Amino acid sequence: MITRTPLQRVKVVGLLGALLGCSAALGACTWQSTEVVTTASVPYDYRHRHPIAVTEADQSIVVFVGRNRGGLSGPQRTDVMGLAHNWMREGTGAIIAEVPIGTANARAAAASYQEIRTVLMAGGVPSRAITLRHYYPDDARTLPTIRLSYPKISAVAGPCGLWPQDLGPNIDNVAYNENRPYHNFGCATQRNLAAMIDNPADLEQPRPESVAYTSRRNIAFEKYRKGQATETTYPEADKAKLSDTGK
């Protein structure tokens, strides 16, 4: 057993106090924080917030029908024939023809449907792929129309116009405080890009190579063999140039 005098006990207590004070001072100089500070960066990509999805959507046209005329006009026949050609290329289901009934133009609409059916079949659509449905118009003030629609594979994005947070400074606005793009940013661009895609399969895989244009290729090879320029010449190209008058 070690015995200390009162003076020794005072020295030991003082030394421990000095060590504790020094440790507290050094600890106060060390600042620890788990917060991640991001400066001048955009962590969220608009293509992830508004992705372009490949889904099945309806392609449709309307045919206006008067009260006293059954059948189609010239432009209407062109529209229906165009619908038939598009269905042959991209349709994934039957063509639905919605014809109004119980209206003033119901008789004319029925006669127009028969011509529509004939035009569709002339465009290559089989009769089993044309389905007739009747409907009662919701608004008696509008002119009832014949609606033609079919499903197809489409690329879609959106919906746009969603503003879940304010754009200005706000204590609860995480996007503003962390310099992130607002939620609706890029939605219109994605939606317009999806509307311009002709074949949604291009988003997933490349198209196979098409057959080479043999005639044009032979002409280019012949010019190359003779040491001539292989580019195509356009005689009318000079007419598009600006006039040199006044120079």
Q: Residue 183: what pLDDT?
A: 83
Percent of all residues in the chain with a pLDDT value above 90, rounded to a whole number: 44
Residue given tokens 């269905």 in the structure block? 87
Contact 54, 204 (CB under 8 A): yes
Decide: helix, strand or coil at residue 242: coil
Between strands 53-64 and 130-135, the pairing is unpaired
Higher pLDDT, 18 or 122: 122
Cβ atoms of residues 63 and 146 within 8 Å: yes
Peptide bond into 159 cis (omega under 30): yes
pTM for this prediction: 0.61
Largest CA distance in the chain: 125
- Per-residue pLDDT reduced to its tens digit, 187-235: 999 999 999 998 898 888 888 888 888 888 899 999 999 999 888 777 7
Of the candidate ranges 108-117, 118-127, 139-148, 170-179, the one whose mean pLDDT is the lowest: 170-179
138 vs 176, more confident: 138
Q: How far is the C-alpha of 47 from the C-alpha of 164, rounded, in Å?
A: 18
CA–CA separation, 182 vs 186, rounded Å? 9
Coil, strand or helix: which one is 155? strand
pLDDT digits (tens, 9 = 90+) for 8-20: 554 555 555 666 6
List alpha helices for the chain, DSSP H: 6-28, 46-49, 74-90, 106-122, 174-177, 187-196, 214-226
Distance of alpha carbon 114 from alpha carbon 95, whole angstroms: 14
What mean pLDDT is reported for the chain? 82
Closest residue by Cα to residue 132 from 117, 121, 111: 117
- Cα distances (Å, whole numbers) of residue 174 to 177, 180, 198, 211: 5, 8, 38, 54
Q: Tokens 């198209």 map to which residue?
A: 207
Whole-angstrom Cα distance, residue 190 to residue 51? Answer: 7
**135 strand-pairing partners:** 100
* Domains recognised in the chain with CATH numbers: 58-152 (3.30.1330.60)
DSSP 14-75: HHHHHHHHHHHHHHHT-----PPP--S---S-HHHHS--EEEEEEEEEEEE--SS--S--HH
pLDDT at 62 over 90: yes
